[in-house]
Amino acid sequence: MSGLPSSRHRFALVLALSLLIAAGLITASELSAGKTGTETGREPAPPATDRLLAGIPQRGAALGSPTAPLTLVEYADLQCPYCGHWAQATLPVLVDRYVRSGRLRIVFNGMAFVGPDSNKGLLTALAAGRHGHLWDLVHGLYERQGAENSGWVSDGLIEEIAAGVPGLDGGRLLEERWDDRVGHELSAAAARAQQAGITQTPSFQLGPTGDTLERVDVSSLEPDGIVPQIEEALAR
Amino acid sequence: MRNERRLRFASALVAVGGVAITVYLLYVRASGATLACTTGGCETLQHFASAEVFGLPVAALGLTAFAGLVAAALARGGWARIAQATLALSAVLFSAYLLWLQVGRIGALCQWCLGSDLLITLLAALALVRLGLPPLATATAPVRPGPKKRPQGSRTNRKPRPQQRPQRR
């Protein structure tokens, strides 16, 4: 046992070495994560060329003017077929009739409960939201929605959608979606849905912008299912 | 040194559990299989930037640490104790950082990571207890020259007395 430090020195040596190793690993982890991280508050995104969204401001998960008097929050899963139907049948009507004129602002609160493809798609959409293109991604995915958890939210599909959106780099998006801060946004969206008591998708909340929103029961997934409630809220 | 042996055995056993967890995580990562998860955040966490350190998956780091702890537990000697305690304690500190990332920064929890955290904390406790045991060398310390004294109460140094049968009359 000669050459071994005494009992007290053994503990001190172990503690010092452990701190040193842990500090090294933590620094490496932070540096490694930082390499794929994104900066917050990036440059405002160029307007989308997609016919539906062209010229409409996007900020994070919100579509439409921040000063719109009314806000509609959509709770949806990117793999939910009903959400896909609503996005195809009703969203374009709401955009043309209310969002484009600055009367309505729609916020996408994604949920990822159907499975891995929901998770991957939502993270990618949230990453695109950091560049002001969440709605381009969401709508692109709904247009190409595949069978649940079949792996349809592939890297190739993301790159294909991103290629059609000026200012959006698909390769970069694929990296940035795994950034911790994007993950935090996903968790925050899940927490908001839980707080609102959302158990199915699509679900909606409607109310004055910046004020308390109320749950809206849509009678159908067609425009008629929600337009009367919007008209009523605007008339108040 | 029976305690030492028990501690080493227990440590090796716990570390093998850690090896199993990390091997499973690496298998799922490599094969693309669905991760069994009841906490909901496993899939999310597996793909985050923090799940890699310079391109190396954290699970691979964990596997290295647990495998090292198995080896250190099986090895004898003072330096093995120091290596085991150092490895276990640094792993606990790094696990605490990863737990903070899960809760504070990402907001998702993974049952496999929590299981690994539990095992590594247990291993660190065992390693520190082992480190605090009296040095192994006392058992084989060279005998000082001089008059031999028979230690009191020690049966090992006594000459065995020939057993005499009680004579029957």
Cβ pair A54, A47 in contact under 8 A? yes
Residue A37 pLDDT grade (very low, low, confident, very high; cuts 50, 70, 90): very low
Q: What distance in Å separates the CA atoms of residue A176 and residue A186, rounded to the nearest whole number?
A: 13
Tokens of A111: 């949920």
Task: Please give the average per-residue pLDDT across B50-79, as a whole number.
Answer: 88
Q: State the first-to-last Cα distance of chain B, in angstroms, to the nearest integer.
A: 47
Per-residue pLDDT tens digits for B73-98: 999 988 999 999 999 999 999 999 98
Using a CB-CB cut-off of 8 Å, the residues of chain A touching B85 are 14, 18
Q: What pLDDT is attached to residue B150?
A: 53
Task: Please give the average per-residue pLDDT across B17-23, as a whole number.
Answer: 95
pLDDT of A36 strictly over 50: no
Specify the pTM. 0.54
Q: What distance in Å separates the CA atoms of residue B150 and residue B139, rounded to the nearest whole number?
A: 16
Nearest by CB to residue B47, choosing from A1, A2, A178, is A178
The full 3-state SS of A193-204, as one line of letters, equals HHHCCCCCCCEE
Nearest by CB to residue A1, choosing from B78, B85, B97, is B78
Short-list B12, B124, B144, CA closest to A18: B124
* R_g (Cα) of chain B, nearest Å: 24
- Find the range with the poorest average confidence among A38-42, A59-63, A184-188, A226-230: A38-42
Using a CB-CB cut-off of 8 Å, the residues of chain A touching B132 are 7, 11
Q: What pLDDT is attached to residue B167?
A: 54
Short-list A193, A213, A209, A212, CA closest to A201: A193
CB proximity B121 to A under 8 Å? no
Half-sphere exposure of B32 (CA within 13 A, CB side): 5
Q: What pLDDT is attached to residue B140?
A: 46
Q: Any idea where the domains of chain A sit in the sequence?
A: 1-43, 46-235
Give the three-class secondary structure for B134: coil
Task: Kindly state the percentage of chain A with pLDDT values over 70.
Answer: 91
pLDDT of A203 strictly over 60: yes
Helices and strands per DSSP (H, E), number in chain B? 5, 2
The shortest C-alpha distance from B162 to chain A (Å) reads: 38
CB proximity B99 to A under 8 Å? no
Q: What pLDDT is attached to residue A147?
A: 83
Instruction: Work out how many CB contacts closer than 8 A connect A with B.
Output: 109
Which burial class, exposed, middle or buried, applies to A196 when counting CB atoms under 10 A from its CB (0-12, 13-18, 19+)? middle
Chain B residues 4-63 with a CB less than 8 Å from chain A = 34, 43-45, 47-55, 58, 61
Whole-number Cα distances in Å, A193 to A203, B42, B63: 10, 20, 37
Cβ pair A174, A158 in contact under 8 A? yes
Chain A residues 188-217 with a CB less than 8 Å from chain B = 188, 191
The shortest C-alpha distance from A113 to chain B (Å) reads: 9
Per-residue pLDDT tens digits for A40-97: 333 333 333 357 888 889 999 999 999 999 999 999 999 888 898 899 889 999 998 9
Residue A142 pLDDT grade (very low, low, confident, very high; cuts 50, 70, 90): very high
Higher local confidence (pLDDT), B150 or A203: A203
Per-residue pLDDT tens digits for A120-129: 999 999 999 9
Measured in residues, chain B has a length of 169
Higher local confidence (pLDDT), B73 or B166: B73
Higher local confidence (pLDDT), B168 or A156: A156
For residue B125, the tally of other CB atoms under 10 A from its CB is: 14
Using a CB-CB cut-off of 8 Å, the residues of chain B touching A22 are 90, 93-94, 97
Cβ pair A52, A87 in contact under 8 A? no
Can the peptide bond before residue A202 be classed as cis, meaning omega within 30 degrees of 0?
A: yes
Tokens of B78: 């003072």
Task: Kindly state the percentage of chain A with pLDDT values over 90.
Answer: 55
Nearest by CB to residue A26, choosing from B52, B94, B107, is B94
Tokens of B90: 């640094």
Q: What pLDDT is attached to residue B147?
A: 53
Q: What pLDDT is attached to residue B44?
A: 57
**CATH 3.40.30.10 describes domain A46-235:** yes
Q: What pLDDT is attached to residue B14?
A: 96
pLDDT of A8 strictly over 60: yes
Q: What pLDDT is attached to residue B106?
A: 63
The full 3-state SS of B19-77, as one line of letters, equals HHHHHHHHHHHHHCCCCCCCCCCHHHHHCCHHHEECCEEHHHHHHHHHHHHHHHHHCCC
Whole-number Cα distances in Å, A36 to A155, A174, B49, B107: 17, 10, 7, 19
User: In this complex, do B49 and A19 lie within 8 Å of one another by their Cβ atoms?
Assistant: no
Whole-number Cα distances in Å, B106 to A153, A174, B53, B79, B100: 22, 18, 17, 39, 9
**Mean of per-residue pLDDT scores for chain B:** 79
